[in-house]
Amino acid sequence: MAWAKQLLRVDLTKGTCTNEALNMEWAQSYLGQRGLATKYYVEECDPKVDALSLDNKMIMATGPLTGTCASTAGRYSVITKGALTGAIACSNSGGFFGNEMKNAGYDMIIFEGASKSPVYLMIENDSAQLLDASEYWGQTVWDTEEGIKDKHGDAQIRVASIGVAGEQGVKFACIVNDMDRAAGRSGVGTVMGSKNLKAVAIRGTKGVAVNDPGAFIAAANAGKAVLAENAVTGQGLPAFGTQVLMNVINETGSLPTHNHRDVQFDGANNISAEAMAEPRASDGKPNLVTNAACFGCTIACGRVSTIDREHYTVKDRPEYQKASGGLEYEAAWALGAATGIDDLDALTFANFICNEQGIDPISFGATVGAAMEMFEDGVITDKDTGGIDLKFGNAQALTELAELTGRGEGFGAEIGLGSKLLCEKHGKPELSMSVKGQEFPAYDSRGIQGMGLTYATSNRGACHLRSYTVASEVLGIPEKTDPLETDGKAGLVKAFQDATAAFDSAGLCIFTSFAWTLDDVAPQLDAACDGEWTTDKLLEVGERIWNLERKYNMDAGFTGKDDNLPARLLKDAAKTGPAEGKTCGLDKMLPEYYEVRGWTPDGVPSNETLDRLAL
């Protein structure tokens, strides 16, 4: 039980929708969502496939706990080859879309080929059809979602769609559901756009059954109690959201600033969670309106914000004066510290545009930061930027570029390449702060050493959601480790990577792991699902998923040489803060990581490891 035991295969080239039985043998080995969909993907897609070709596939997948009463069990993921990276991509989203897919009776949807003209998929329980989307092509995510709901006369329909950025081929376009929740990284929205698929709309009312309802409710309630009693999930995240980290990380000397030239930002307090909650001098109202929760979530870390009506970004634009998805930490960092901008309303506006047009704010802001450094160094000029003064700290440049990038116009089209391609184009590849083509999130690895190893080895490119060692190195969860030391970080990173793969594949939000271990997840899965689910089995499943992703990437052409960091982090010491004088010790951590992973010194999973994991 728990699984719907059914998938929908959509052939966009032929225009057909076909139900198939879920491979339950694979489900026992890969669980669901990230793991199970990756198994399907690697079995069906040549590792050498071009991400934007007809032969690439895209899978939307739920986990077995998605749609149940487990806390945060509303997640879904998009699995494909990333347009930004050329590596395996799995981008996770919350909101209500995942629950709707599961309640319609599907564990996953596999998209093949490409439509000749724009279409959207409409699912009403077991009924699925492709419909003409020409009236929505060229429209924003917000207008598309509202338009589809109005057309079908049902406000309860859940919609995941791309904006103009996905249509125009912006490399880091994302897929947005519920207006401001996103499968945000690696360019999954770009892949969706290449298939002429504008949206997926779902209405599901079938419900989700579990194996042992009594035992499941008891296990789910026990898990909710743990979350409520935890300082992070019960207090910090509901009150301040992920933005609670802005001042914390800045104080540790690990807040990447000015494209990682610095590790602390003087304006951090102006764009922090505390600043969001303070009344504005202009109108006496705070940026933050309220918090918000995804389906089934008892944490409610989401933010809803407004912009000062007199701010230059929205003064004459009422469409942006309404409350919408507010800043989260990663977006506030990328749009703010990475670019040297501390105008909270400007960052909020840029974040609105990212949601509205469907672009990843992390890659967008980090790419703007790289462009700003090239501008200040004279590598690019205002002739390149179309007259935009691209100096660090220029808020108007940021907001103008957000709109241009969202539409794929002007210098925004250049930003839409991502920092790797943009910096290579201008002969400065070293200024791209990325791994495998994906930009870093908001932690400097000179001050948090484990994150350097995390970034270097992440299968989808630089990512904090694959191994959040910040929990241990800064917050002391599950135990405190020294952020400035490299010893023991290989084992720590592996443990986080394997556990995270299991959380993702269950259909749960990774934020639960601030309070839960797999000992809290296993009883919920065991009561909900067929088979025996223990902590040890989940750890094995997580390790199997990680090695499966690794093997696919290596077959796609990646090697151990890609497990690296920009020279800036390896050679240029931090200038201030607790990490002053330190660089990232990747050279010490990486060989040990390969060893604890059971890989060769070149980073290749050994035959013994592959055999042990049945790969």
| Cα–Cα distance, 414 to 381 (Å, whole number) | 13
pLDDT at 263: 98
pLDDT at 126: 86
Q: Is the pLDDT of residue 339 over 90?
A: yes
| Lowest mean per-residue pLDDT among 13-22, 276-285, 333-342, 349-358 | 276-285
Q: What is the DSSP string of 204-272?
A: --S----S-HHHHHHHHHHHHHHHHHSHIIIIIHHHHGGGGHHHHHHHTT---BTTTTBS--TTGGGGS
Find out whether 402 and 313 touch, Cβ atoms under 8 Å.
no
pLDDT in tens, 113-137: 999 999 999 999 989 999 999 999 9
pLDDT at 38: 98
Residue of 532, 559, 547, 556 whose CA lies nearest to 611: 547
Half-sphere exposure of 201 (CA within 13 A, CB side): 27
pLDDT at 54: 96
Mean pLDDT (the chain, rounded): 97
Q: Is the pLDDT of residue 82 over 90?
A: yes
| Fold match, 6-203 / 257-432 | no
Q: pLDDT category, 236, cuts 50, 70, 90?
A: very high
Residue of 404, 406, 395, 340 whose CA lies nearest to 370: 340
Tokens of 237: 């995240």
Burial label, 229 (beta-carbon count in 10 A; 0-12, 13-18, 19+): exposed
pLDDT in tens, 591-601: 999 999 999 99
Burial label, 409 (beta-carbon count in 10 A; 0-12, 13-18, 19+): middle
Residue identified by tokens 């997580």 is 542
pLDDT at 282: 86
Tokens of 365: 């802001």
> Does the predicted TM-score (pTM) go above 0.95?
yes
The arithmetic mean of pLDDT across residues 129-158, rounded, is 98
Backbone φ/ψ region at 473: left (φ over 0), alpha (ψ -120 to 50), beta: alpha
Work out the angle at residue 97's Cα, subtended by the Cα atoms of residues 466 and 454, and round it to the nearest 5 degrees. Answer: 5
Give bridge partners of residue 402 from the DSSP assignment: none
The arithmetic mean of pLDDT across residues 56-67, rounded, is 98
Interhelix angle for 489-506 vs 518-528, to 10°? 30
Tokens of 382: 């205002």
Q: What is the DSSP letter of 173?
A: B
Q: pLDDT category, 170, cuts 50, 70, 90?
A: very high
Give domain limits for the chain.
6-203, 257-432, 449-612
Find out whether 357 and 141 touch, Cβ atoms under 8 Å.
yes
Long-range contacts of 314-323 (CB under 8 A, 24+ apart): 314/345, 314/349, 320/349, 320/352, 323/289
- SS3 assignment, position 492: helix
Q: Dihedrals φ, ψ of 203, to 5°?
A: -130, 115
Give bridge partners of residue 80 from the DSSP assignment: 89
In whole angstroms, what separates CA 463 from the centre of its chain? 8
The arithmetic mean of pLDDT across residues 459-467, rounded, is 96
Q: Is the pLDDT of residue 488 over 90?
A: yes
The arithmetic mean of pLDDT across residues 226-249, rounded, is 96
For 6-203, give the CATH class. Answer: alpha beta
Question: Which is it for the CA torsion 506, 511, 513, 515, positive or negative?
Answer: negative
| Cα–Cα distance, 176 to 357 (Å, whole number) | 9
Helices (runs of H) and strands (runs of E) counted in the chain: 26, 17
For 449-612, give the CATH class. Answer: mainly alpha
Q: Quickly name the fold that domain 257-432 has.
A: 1.10.569
The arithmetic mean of pLDDT across residues 431-456, rounded, is 98
pLDDT at 190: 98
- Going across the sheet that includes 16-21, the strands are 16-21, 6-11, 108-112, 58-62, 76-81, 88-93
pLDDT at 102: 98
The contacts of residue 439 (CB under 8 Å, 6+ apart) are 334, 362, 363, 366, 367, 418, 419, 432, 433, 462
Find out whether 488 and 495 touch, Cβ atoms under 8 Å.
no
The arithmetic mean of pLDDT across residues 561-565, rounded, is 98
pLDDT at 333: 98
In whole angstroms, what separates CA 596 from the centre of its chain? 27
pLDDT at 281: 87
The contacts of residue 335 (CB under 8 Å, 6+ apart) are 327, 341, 347, 350, 351, 361, 364, 365, 398
Q: pLDDT category, 1, cuts 50, 70, 90?
A: confident
Q: pLDDT category, 386, cuts 50, 70, 90?
A: very high
pLDDT in tens, 265-306: 999 999 999 999 999 988 899 999 999 999 999 999 999 999
H or E, element range at 503: helix 489-506
pLDDT at 181: 96
| Cα–Cα distance, 386 to 397 (Å, whole number) | 11
The arithmetic mean of pLDDT across residues 150-157, rounded, is 97
